[in-house]
Amino acid sequence: MKVYLVGVGPGSSATMTLAAREAIAASPLLIGAPRLLAGYDGKTCLPLIAAGDIAAAIDSAERGPAAVLLSGDVGFYSGAKNLYPLLSRHEVETIPGVSSLVYFCARLHIPWQDVFLVSAHGRSHNAPGAVQSHQRTFVLTGGNYRAGDLCAQLTEWGLGHVTVHVGERLSYPDERIVTGAAEELAGREFDSLAVVLAENPAPIHRPYSAPALPDSAFFRGKVPMTKEEVRSLVLSKLHLLPSHTLWDVGAGTGSVSAEGALAVPEGRVFAVEQKAEALTLLERNKAALGLSNLHIVPGTAPEALADLPAPDRVFLGGSSGNMEAILRCALDKNPAVRIVVTAVTLETVAETVQCFARLELTDTDMVQIAATRVREAGRYHLMDAQNPVWVLAGETAAGPAASHGR
């Protein structure tokens, strides 16, 4: 049987292509979502959505052709993807349509070739992370996740200032487009047939392809800082993925926090610090590097960790004698968390090894790094040895495969 997979555009017949109209006119059997079948008198219309149900209806049809009406474009988060393998017995012709992305950007007078695409309609997603890391992000909403929910999440992530355009019932006579800051639209009720275009003027962006910010990039004061060479090794041992959540406990000036934030552009970093001077430097470094995904948490660990989201990774640069309690808190929230600790004394090395053993961390790794820099002294260049630092890493038997990776 001849089967047309027809992209009918956002919904109104005015946005339908001539090829789509001709395919529908030639088909006595129309299948699709109820809203797409309205107005086709004289046709046999089957309101079906699931791919298996549609394929079964076509297989049992007495005559064709049959046209499956699919909203938007057949190649843009469309049900056509699941139908192709189920219709192998039939002659399938695909007819593209106007996607909601193309239509909405045209209404906003915004080019869409550089827009990042996310579907939050009935599938797992990280829409706030995408908005955080891209200048323009288009999000399909629907089901239990509405446009107002996205705006509330953006606000919770510290992105309440981002400009959000919400398009409801696009192409229909009651179409509505609302524009405002995410924090202004958070929690508002929007139609289930809504799309979102978010514009972030300062997305997270790493200036280099590897964690290699020079020490001079940070405000330092008199607060201890993890130096560039050690910091690069720490970032390597953390095994960060773009959507991870990182805790930096005892963050100091925030050099690891900042490098971590750049390494997780779709995730978040929580820098926990108790000293007032360090907190001031953290704020300055966050602002200087434009790190909207870096969240500063004043307080002493482990108490300050209680309300934080579960970490995928933890860096412990200072524990104030509370190492085991801090790590137990992280493991309680995520048994698969990966942990990296730095130590400059043999006592801390011993404590870390014993703590890892008690917590039954596996795949442990211990490295000692001793870097020597060169400094000028008049017309001479002298070797300036830095303090040796131990870097210890480990995780539970659950391993990284069980990590959240949100």
SS3 387: coil
What per-residue confidence (pLDDT) applies to 404?
Answer: 44
Q: Is the pLDDT of residue 31 over 90?
A: yes
Q: What is the mean pLDDT of residues 296-307?
A: 94
pLDDT at 211: 73
* 8 A C-beta contact, residue 111 and residue 89: no
d(Cα 76, Cα 9) in Å, to the nearest integer? 11
Taking only the tens place, the pLDDT of each residue in 126-162 is 899 999 999 999 999 987 889 999 999 999 999 999 9
Look at 90-104, 282-296, 385-399 and tell me which has the smallest mean pLDDT.
Answer: 385-399
236-278 pLDDT per residue, tens: 999 999 999 999 999 999 999 999 999 999 999 999 999 999 9
User: Residue 50 is encoded by which pair of tokens?
Assistant: 């699931």
User: Is residue 36 within 8 Å of 101, Cβ to Cβ?
Assistant: no
pTM across the whole model: 0.82
Range name among 28-32, 193-197, 241-245, 373-377 with the lowest pLDDT average: 373-377
Q: E strands of 229-371, at which residues? A: 245-249, 268-273, 294-298, 313-316, 338-343, 362-369
Instruction: Write the burial class of residue 100 (CB in 10 Å: 0-12 exposed, 13-18 middle, 19+ buried).
Output: buried
Whether the CB-CB separation of 15 and 98 falls below 8 Å is answered with yes
Strand duo 338-343 + 313-316: pairing: parallel
Give yes or no for a contact between 251 and 278, defined as CB atoms under 8 angstroms apart.
yes
Give the separation between CA 80 and CA 68, rounded to whole angstroms. Answer: 9
Structure tokens belonging to residue 279: 């907190």
Domain coordinates in residue numbering, the chain: 2-97, 101-199, 215-402
What DSSP assignment string belongs to 300-311?
Answer: -TTGGGTTSPPP
Task: pLDDT band for 405, please (50, 70, 90 cuts).
Answer: very low
Q: What is the DSSP string of 54-93?
A: HHHHHHT-SS--EEEEESB-TTSS-THHHHGGGGTTSEEE
pLDDT for 298: 96
Phi, psi of 87 (to 5 degrees): -115, 25
Q: Which residue has the tokens 């406990």?
A: 249
How does 331-342 read in b/e, with b if 16+ C-beta sit within 10 Å? bebbebbbbbbb
Q: Smallest Cα–Cα separation from 319: which of 303, 337, 296?
A: 303
What value does the mean pLDDT of the chain take?
91
Domain 101-199 CATH (choose: 1.10.3720.10, 3.10.129.10, 3.20.20.70, 3.30.950.10): 3.30.950.10
Instruction: Please give the CATH topology (third level) of the domain spanning 2-97.
Output: Cobalt-precorrin-4 Transmethylase; domain 1 (3.40.1010)
Burial of 405 (0-12, 13-18, 19+ CB in 10 A): middle
Q: Which residues contact 113 (CB under 8 A, 6 or more apart)?
A: none
Q: Are 242 and 332 a contacting pair, CB within 8 Å?
A: no
Q: What pLDDT, on a 0 to 100 scale, did the predictor assign at position 401?
A: 43
- 90 - beta bridge partners? none
- Condensed to tens digits (0 to 9), the pLDDT of residues 158-191 reads 999 999 999 999 999 999 999 999 999 998 999 8
Rg (CA), the chain: 27
Q: Percentage of the chain surpassing pLDDT 90?
A: 75
Q: For the structural domain made of 215-402, what CATH number should be given?
A: 3.40.50.150
Distance CA 236, CA 256 (A): 11
Q: Is the confidence at residue 1, as pLDDT, over 70?
A: yes
- Spell out the residues 6+ positions from residue 272 whose beta carbon is closer than 8 angstroms to its own: 247, 248, 249, 250, 251, 297, 299, 301, 304, 305, 308
